[in-house]
Amino acid sequence: MYHLFVLTSHGGAPSGLADTIDRAGMTCQIGVELEQLDDNVNTPPDAVLLDLSSLEPLDARHLVEECHKRKLPVLISVPRDAMADYDSSLNSDEVVVSPVSEAELTTRVKIAMSRVNGPAGPTLLRVGDLSIDLERYEVNVAGRRVALTYKEFQLLVLLASNPGRVYTREALLSQIWGYDYLGGTRTVDVHVRRLRSKVEAPGRSFVETIWNVGYRFKEPA
């Protein structure tokens, strides 16, 4: 998967972030300055993640500029309760609102990488008359634009990217909402029901219920 360089002012990963990176199948190196990358040229990071909770705004701005000079995708991790004060002029390639789920973190890293390096793989998923634009967060069914919430979009992308694979409700809850989410699996059922109401119609279904287990995306015929 991807290797991240997590940059903080104290050399320790933000609470829970390292665990999320690990559960998402990614690896990370923790550092306090970008120059540490020069000492480890054999394992260059795919992206840099700045911990804004531990950095002064001027330092963060300087680090973003340095990442751009090095042509490194750069993301900024912002605590949810600090988003109201976030300065968008920092001009990072992506913003991660923490705590964050594995699925969302992976998506944000992919987007940041594509903005710097160009698309690394397919940015459009097609299944029958369903199309999912991963870059623009757009979904069309039979040529009709469908408005999804971000969680509904994440659910659809995860399921459609792995047709035939059965996901338990617990697995979907962990991957989409995050390991520390306090709500129950009923949340998954509600979102799947809403997703179906938007993308499915009589004679056209994509998501199957596996009773007492979870859900899967139908494999193309």
Instruction: Write the CB contacts of 17 (distance below 8 Å, at least 6 apart in sequence).
Output: 6, 49, 51, 77, 98, 100
Cα-trace Rg, the chain: 19
Q: Are residues 44 and 22 in the same domain?
A: yes
Q: Are residues 14 and 105 in the same domain?
A: yes
CATH number of the structural domain spanning residue 139: 1.10.10.10
Cα–Cα dist 57/90, whole Å: 8
pLDDT at residue 131, rounded to an integer: 93
First-residue to last-residue Cα distance in the chain: 29
pLDDT at residue 192, rounded to an integer: 96
Count CB atoms within 10 A of the CB of residue 183.
Answer: 10
Burial of 63 (0-12, 13-18, 19+ CB in 10 A): buried
> pLDDT tens string for the chain (221 positions)?
789 999 988 766 665 788 889 888 899 988 888 888 887 766 789 999 999 988 888 999 999 999 999 999 999 999 888 888 888 889 999 999 888 888 888 888 988 888 887 765 567 888 888 999 887 889 999 899 999 998 999 899 889 888 888 999 988 888 788 755 666 788 999 999 999 999 998 888 999 999 989 999 987 66
Give 38-87 as a DSSP string: GG-TTS--SEEEEEGGGS-HHHHHHHHHHHHHTT--EEEEEEGGGGGG--
Q: Are residues 24 and 106 in the same domain?
A: yes
Q: Are residues 167 and 135 in the same domain?
A: yes
The three-state secondary structure class of 184 is coil
Distances (CA, A) of 58 to 36, 41, 54, 93, 100: 20, 27, 12, 17, 25
Last residue of a domain, one of 117, 132, 167: 117
Q: What is the domain extent for residue 190?
A: 124-217
pLDDT at residue 14, rounded to an integer: 64
Structure tokens belonging to residue 112: 């940041």
Q: Are residues 104 and 161 in the same domain?
A: no
pLDDT at residue 194, rounded to an integer: 96
pLDDT at residue 182, rounded to an integer: 61
Q: Are residues 87 and 133 in the same domain?
A: no
Q: Are residues 95 and 164 in the same domain?
A: no
Whole-model pTM above 0.85?
A: no
Give 104-131 as a DSSP string: HHHHHHHHHHHHHH--SS--EEEETTEE
